[in-house]
Structure 1
């Protein structure tokens, strides 16, 4: 079965890279379960699916990952996002709170994670996010950036 990571990397069932991923099926399954848990969790902690997908699309754009941009665009279109979430997804910075703070945090951790500090987490709390929401946001950021790197690595293996 093709999963989201395979799609992002452009793999097909007869691709050697597809087969190579299956040497460690627990990693394939784990990545897919992680994707589902950050984008469609049983308890969204008040971070709705359309917000999560909009943020994932924003990170895909920051990482210049065209395949993931297209995947997240399709998912977002199914959710019929508000104009403000569409703007967030497309990289807008002139957003109302708490989206402005969330966007700044996502951008910082995606582009310059080494510059992230404890005060950046405090800003999320000041913008109204509670601890479970901050953890959920952090999990989303970690997964989407992981996804872009794995997909890029698999694409590079094809280019060789």
Structure 2
């Protein structure tokens, strides 16, 4: 692990300082705040990243943030990806308009799945999972990917809600 994971990401991206009323509100639900940060670490920085490197996890998260137009989280995840060693081509993944050249590649199938589940989760079917298997992912990889997708989409919604409270 090359990056700091003890700083609360939501507090950081929203710029919540010690005197922030929104920080005080979050502290009223300290257990939820802690569990959200723990989930962040589990999704983005597990002890064993297996078949999804830390850089890849961060760029996939950046892509989901971009799909939601969450500028704060997009910037955070792009910065994280860079800190984890991602460079030009890998960072391109964060742009939802970017498509790999190989239509049958592992990356293409993963990005299609992420885009689908992020934008239209009700449209996801068993066939989408079968495509992940066909691209070489195993059960653990698919569960890992589902966890990343679920967490980042949750995080985006929490940030959006807190941002609305902060700004209004």
Which of the five TM-score ranges fits, normalised by the shorter chain?
Answer: over 0.9
Matched, 1:108 2:116: yes
Higher RCO, Cα 8 Å, sep 6+: 1
The RMSD of aligned alpha carbons is 1.5
Correspondence for 2:54: 49
Structure 2 unaligned spans of 5+: 1-5
Matched, 1:156 2:154: no
**SS of the residue 1:155 aligns to:** helix
Aligned-pair distance for 1:90? 2.2
Correspondence for 1:118: 126
* Runs of 4+ off more than 3 Å: none
Matched, 1:24 2:29: yes
Q: Distance in 2 between matches of 1:45 and 1:131?
A: 12
Distance 1:65 1:80, change over 3 A: same
Aligned-pair distance for 1:84? 3.5
Conservation of the 8 A alpha-carbon contact between 1:9 and 1:152? no
State TM-score, norm by structure 1: 0.93
Matched, 1:75 2:80: yes
Q: Distance in 1 between matches of 2:14 and 2:123?
A: 29
Question: Number of paired residues?
Answer: 160
Aligned-pair distance for 1:83? 4.0
Conservation of the 8 A alpha-carbon contact between 2:117 and 2:124? yes
Q: Distance in 2 between matches of 1:87 and 1:52?
A: 13
**SS of the residue 1:94 aligns to:** coil
2:143 corresponds to which of 114, 118, 135: 135
